Amino acid sequence: MLKKMPELPEVETIRLQLDQKIKGLKITEVEVLNKKSFIGDFGEVRGVRVVGVRRRAKITIIELEGGVYLAIHLKLTGQLIYREKNQRLKTKDQKRGPYEVGELPNKFTRVIISFDNGGKLYFNDLRIFGWIKVIKDVREIGEDKLGPEANDEVSFSREYFKNILNKTKKPIKLVILDQEKLAGVGNIYANESLFDAGILPTRPSSSLSGEEIRKLRNSIIKILNDAIIHKGSSDNDEAYRQITGEKGTHQNYLLVYGKSGQRCPACGGSIKRIALGGRGTFYCENCQK
């Protein structure tokens, strides 16, 4: 089975939805059900109002009044689910599998944040790799070590991309997965972007021509933005859910990721799978050069 950590589109979907729901609300209580899942003093955020929700790379950041933040990393199996006061469960996605949300709290709920409108934000995490952290400075999440956001057309400029690629012979897929070079791209969207641009994932980065760099940058931005429109990807074995508890839908639009042995949608050839940097890598040897 493939396992995918939420990437930029999934975290951005959560950010957009949370910002709409909790901006302006006051945190009334924080219930920590597993100490490993919450780092810091929850007393610092109790009674504090939410200014807004932002994102950096794969981390959700809830900004609070007074210069305090809640940084949240979902890791592999984390979920952020918001329920209004007295909200009845409407999602149909509750019948099977360890990641189905169902009624809350459930046995995988690690932290519950309550708000003054009666709503609650549930942090679920089956494997307890994810975390919520109270911070006073966003640099505490290592922001100074992160590259530009991969869907930001200004900071992720063609000139910037060209400069980082020309400096290394590492396989191009490994470079675009490097969060210090480019923030937010993970395995699924690296595969899809390289296919869209017609570039082999094993190609040495410094071998890309100026035109190939342009095409790949455009493909990365397009693929990520399309995935945000479709509210992220969550296949059957993946934990990611929108804050409603519903799955994303972009898995229905994937062309090569997870499709080893299937026909290439462009040429009809066979999709290949190799391991690159320890990650499943999918490509068409006819379409990608």
Active site members: 6-7, 58, 279
Of residues 285, 270, 244, the one with CA closest to residue 88: 244
Structural contact between residues 5 and 186, judged by C-beta atoms closer than 8 angstroms:
yes
Structural contact between residues 248 and 240, judged by C-beta atoms closer than 8 angstroms:
yes
Helix (H) / strand (E) containing 13: helix 8-22
Structural contact between residues 68 and 45, judged by C-beta atoms closer than 8 angstroms:
yes
Of residues 238, 232, 234, 189, the one with CA closest to residue 11: 232
Q: Which residues pair with 80 in a beta bridge?
A: 123
Q: What angle do CA 42, 47, 53 make, to 5 degrees?
A: 75
Tell me how far apart the alpha carbons of residues 176 and 241 are, in angstroms, rounded to a whole number. Answer: 25
Of residues 267, 251, 211, the one with CA closest to residue 219: 211
- Residues contacting 160, CB < 8 A, separation 6+: 148
Tell me the one-letter amino acid at 55: R
Q: Which residues pair with 197 in a beta bridge?
A: none
Q: What is the DSSP string of 148-159?
A: -BTT-TTTS-HH
Tell me how far apart the alpha carbons of residues 248 and 230 are, in angstroms, rounded to a whole number. Answer: 6
Q: Which residue's structure tokens are 């470079």?
A: 175
| Structure tokens that stand for 153 in this block | 């057309």
